[in-house]
Every structure is written in structure tokens, then in C-alpha cells.
Amino acid sequence: MISEIRIIPVLDIPLIKEQDDLAKIVSERIELEDKDIVVICETVVTKSQGRVVDLKKINPSTRALDISKKTGKDPRLVQLILDESKEVLKIGDSVIVVETRDGNICASAGIDVSNVCGDESVVGLLPKDPDKEAEKIRQKLKKLTGKEVAVIISDTQGRPFRSGAIGVAIGVSGMKPLWKRAGEKDLYGYELKSSIIATADEAASAASLLMGQADEGIPIVVIRGARHLKGEGSSKELLREKEKDLFRP
């Protein structure tokens, strides 16, 4: 029997500061159940890790100044984007698409200028080691609540070919991020050849429907009733290998 999935907001999350304990904050605000997926927006993880940078302290290189001219972006921000990246993939009119040190392909290395602290010169980097951080939060949640949950750290990213951004999983713990269905049968008994669903990304998008991006203040939600693809998982599985990516420049 297939029953419904619920996307539940964790309410009254305070503004997060460095060293805040996200697991404790969650456990005090919602009654978790086994198999819940706890989706945490990267911004609050970034803040709890103290990964915020004041642009006033950055000295842009010649390369950053050059890219700044092409894109109209603050040269200090460009420097930070370069620092956080393995490779610059594309430079557009007002966009810099890079591969981050963690292998995510996204604009501006995922650096946030909104919802950081209210000072326009202070920006938020992506969390450090999001898989490891998701694992840490999951273990702490287990200790505090006794429940076996999965944890996803989510980001909102733009896409080639499609307009608008959607939620994706940049950190995963306690679930398989990909659901490999090859070998299963369809409704008519036909064997699926290669179907692979990015369940962790779909969960991040589902959570994003509730999180919003502006002043809702819902950075953490719980998904209850979804297929819990129990197992060890890493967000790295969601990154297409460079050699297998037809659109990689």
C-alpha cells in the first residue's frame, strides 16, 4: 500500500551562528521518526561552520580583475569564487560557472550574498565537507532522539537548458542518493534497462518547495513517508563523471 509523503517544516529555527548545534536545534523542535529525511539548507550549515567571509579582506588578483570586467561582478567576490573552485567552466554576461572543490558544477561556486548576516560585503561560502557534516548531524540526531534518519544538505542551483533554480543535494548521509532500477519490471513485466533516479536531488527539490529563499525562515524541513533508500551514500555519486558528461566543455 502506497501512502502519502509529507513535507514538514521545522518551525522557529533561530538565526544560526558559528558553532550552533544544528542536530540539537532540530531535535528540540520536531519529533523525528525512523526513516525521516531531514533536509537542511546549506546556508545554515555554512553559518554554523563559520564559513562567512568579509569581502573587504579580499585582495583580487589580475585574473579576478579581468573576469570582473567581463561579468560586472565585484572583483573581490570573483577572487573568492576562484579560490573555491577547481576549474572555471564558462563565463557569461553576468555569471561564472565553475566546478567547486567538492565537484559541484554551479554558478559563483555557490557563494551566497543573501541571508548571510545583513551586511552586503559579508558572503557565505558553501559548507566544508557537506557529506561529512551530514553524517555528523545524523549521528548526533541518532544520539539525541534514538531515530534512524537520513540527512541531506541542500543547495539551490541553476541548470543548463532550463530556466530557474531547483534544490539539489550537496551533502548526503544515511541514504542512497541514486535509485538504480535496472532489472526491475515495469507494469507490463518489461525489464527496465537503465533507469536511475536521483532520489536525493528530488528530495532536495521537494524540500525547497517549502523552504523558499527569502524571508520565510524555513531552512530545515523533514520529509516523511518517502522511500528511504537505506544505505551508505555520498553526494559524490550525484556528480556525473567528467569523461561521461556530454556537455562538459
Cross-strand pairs, 54:
122
Residues 115-174 that bind its own copies (CB under 8 A): 115-118, 120, 156, 159-168
Contact flag: residue 72 with its own copies (CB under 8 A): no
Instruction: Report, in Å, the least distance between residue 105 CB and its own copies.
Output: 4
Give dist(CA 21, CA 173) in Å, integer: 17
- Interacting span for its own copies (CB under 8 A) from 21-29, 72-80, 134-142, 194-202: 194-202
Residue in the block written with cell 533508500: 229
Instruction: Name which of residues 73 to 112 contact its own copies (CB under 8 A).
Output: 90, 92, 95, 97, 105
Instruction: State which residue, 59 or 161, has the beta carbon closest to its own copies.
Output: 161
239 is an interface residue for its own copies by CB under 8 A: yes
Residues 3-32 within binding reach of its own copies (CB under 8 A) = 3-9, 11, 15
Euclidean distance between CA atoms 209 and 94, whole angstroms: 26
Which of these segments, 56-64, 72-80, 131-139, 219-227, binds its own copies (CB under 8 A)? 219-227
Comparison of 103 and 136: residue with beta carbon closer to its own copies: 103
The order of strands in the sheet holding 220-224 is: 150-157, 37-41, 220-224
Candidate segments 19-27, 70-78, 126-134, 192-200, binder of its own copies by CB under 8 A = 192-200
State the Cα–Cα distance between residues 190 and 145, nearest whole angstrom. 43
Please identify, among the stretches 50-58, 61-69, 143-151, 240-248, the one whose residues bind its own copies according to the rule CB under 8 A.
Answer: 240-248
Shortest CB 171 distance to its own copies, Å: 14
Closest Cα to residue 130, out of 235, 18, 223, 17? 235
Is residue 248 part of the contact set for its own copies (CB under 8 A)? yes
CA separation, residue 36 to residues 11, 110, 158 (Å): 16, 27, 27
- DSSP string across 72-117: ---HHHHHHHHHTEEEEEEE-SS-EEEEETTS-EEEGGG-B-SSSS
Which is closer to its own copies, CB of 118 or CB of 146? 118
Tell me if 149 sits within 8 A of 36, measured CB to CB. Answer: yes
